[in-house]
Structure 1
Amino acid sequence: MIAPSILSADFARLAEEAAAVGGADWLHVDVMDGHFVPNLTIGLPVVEALLRATDIPVDCHLMIDDPDRWAPGYADAGAHNVTVHVEAARDPVKIAKDLRAAGAKAGLSVKPGTPLEPYLELLDHYDTLLVMSVEPGFGGQEFIPEVLDKVRTAKRHELDVLVEIDGGINAETIVQAAEAGVDCFVAGSAVYGADDPARAVERLRALAAARKTGES
């Protein structure tokens, strides 16, 4: 699965940018509040507008303080998957229940420096695990390969979650991530920095699929 990140898109043309990746599996939307991460992007009103403008399932990644309070609103709005950070959540089990009750998949994310092992049991309540392969807050950062150990840990424990990775994904790093067992790849500049974003999505999907099936 490929989830283009609109963090690398033109914010003045979001509906057109979403249409440009019509073959994508999910559309990844980074919500940042300037507190949990040192950057400010968009919030619920823009997400609601984007949901009206695209049929692609919207994957909301909430890099915000107090997700216990704010996350359910994104599910209520119609987001397909809503991911919160374990570092910010007060009651991650309740958040997962609230998101699912509102009709969304529940996602849990960990920063590069956050170990996964203490939270393995929490993942029984979640549908997706988002492994950050850069420090959250800004696009265009370099991929941190060491985080792939978390992917391998999740797969080794046979957790019933879709494993997603976010940060520095391109034609080279997607191969490493696919080999580790990643199911869904968030790609920003590798898609929206290309001349043909839709073709870039298909190329990334083909590279990941080939590696997962053992093809060269």
Structure 2
Amino acid sequence: MQISPSILAADFANLEQELRRVSNADWAHVDVMDAHFVPNLTLGLPVVEALLRVSPIPLDAHLMIEDPDRWAPLYAEAGCQSVTFHIEAARHPRRLARTLRAAGARACMALKPETSFTPYEPLLADLDMVLVMTVEPGFGGQSFMVDQMPKVRQVREAIKRHGGEIWVQVDGGVSATTIEQCAEAGADVFVAGSAVYGAEDAAAAIEELRALVSTHVH
């Protein structure tokens, strides 16, 4: 059970300090948005390269961008240990996943809330993680979509059939009140933004989330 705080909820003027606040987490989740695939603009490769130089924990880059076939490998090459592309934007997802792995990153496919997992189940052989979005991608602080739990369950069951160690990540509205539902449905990597960075003690918030899901095993 891994906790990946989203720096989308952090203070962008003090990102090095904000990464230190979550140094007990498993990952730092970095939301890259291009104002095309989603209606928001956050940060890109130069900022991610700077974060890689100072982060005490590995970076999990979530690319909410158009043309990930072209751009995603650059994040892997820069040193992000996990790179997530959106299946809705990828033209050649299998080739892209293999390219990410060859560059040393974990390859992850993300699904928007309205995107069905079923057509993409055959890609599992080339993936290390599947991200089920529990909000519409684009902005932090949105409410959790409980109607995505059946999809999380579906992904977990497909992984059991397929075999191999593939993680299931949830991102959006994950907090102390929703994280257990996600774990019960089959998630094992939890992206939390406001729930961690909105707390006075971010490290304690991470430990609280971890404790809530520590008894769940998939």
Structure 2 length normalisation: TM-score? 0.96
Tell me the residue number matched to 2:138: 137
- 1:112-143: per-residue Cα shift (whole Å, max 9, x none)? 01011110001211100000000000000010
Match of 1:162 in 2: 167
2:66 counterpart letter in structure 1: D
CA distance in 2, matches of 1:62, 1:129: 13
Partner residue of 1:199?
204
Paired with 2:124 and 2:74, the residues of 1 have a C-alpha distance of 21
Distance 1:17 1:154 in 2: 32
Q: Distance in 2 between matches of 1:131 and 1:155?
A: 11
What are the ranges of 5 or more consecutive residues in structure 1 without an aligned counterpart? Answer: none
Q: Which residue of 1 aligns with 2:77?
A: 76
- Using the TM superposition, give the Cα deviation of residue 209 of structure 1 relative to its aligned residue in structure 2, in angstroms: 1.2
Q: In structure 1, what is the Cα distance between the partners aligned to 2:209 and 2:3?
A: 7
Letter in 2 for 1:100: R
Instruction: Name the % identity.
Output: 59
- Select 1:176's aligned residue among 171, 178, 181: 181
Partner of 1:92: 93
Give the C-alpha shift of residue 54 in structure 1: 1.1
Distance in 1 of aligned mates of 2:5 and 2:23: 10
Distance 2:155 2:33 in 1: 26
Are 2:153 and 1:152 aligned? yes
Matched, 1:27 2:32: no
Structure 2: how far apart are the matches of 1:150 and 1:58?
25
SS where residue 28 of structure 1 aligns?
A: strand
8 Å Cα contact 1:134-1:142 kept in structure 2: yes
| Pairwise CA RMSD | 1.1
Amino acid at match of 1:18: L
The farther-off stretch of 6-15 and 148-157 is 148-157
Corresponding position of 1:188 = 193
Post-superposition Cα deviations, 1:151-196, rounded to whole Å, max 9, x if no partner, equal: 1112212143100000000001001001111110000000000000
Secondary structure at 1:201 match in 2:
helix
Amino acid in structure 1 at the alignment position of 2:48: V
Q: Distance in 2 between matches of 1:114 and 1:195?
A: 36
* Counterpart contact for 1:108–1:123, Cα < 8 Å: no
Residue 213 of structure 2 is aligned with which of 204, 208, 211? 208
Q: CA deviation at 1:55?
A: 2.6
What is the match of residue 18 of structure 1?
Answer: 19
Partner SS for 1:120: helix
SS at match of 2:214: helix
Aligned: 1:52 with 2:53: yes
Superposed CA offset, 1:41-68 (max 9, x none): 0000000000001130100000000000
CA distance in 2, matches of 1:52, 1:86: 29
The alignment partner of 1:79 has SS state of coil
- 2:132–2:151 Cα contact (<8 Å) kept: yes
Answer yes or no: is 1:108 the counterpart of 2:109.
Answer: yes
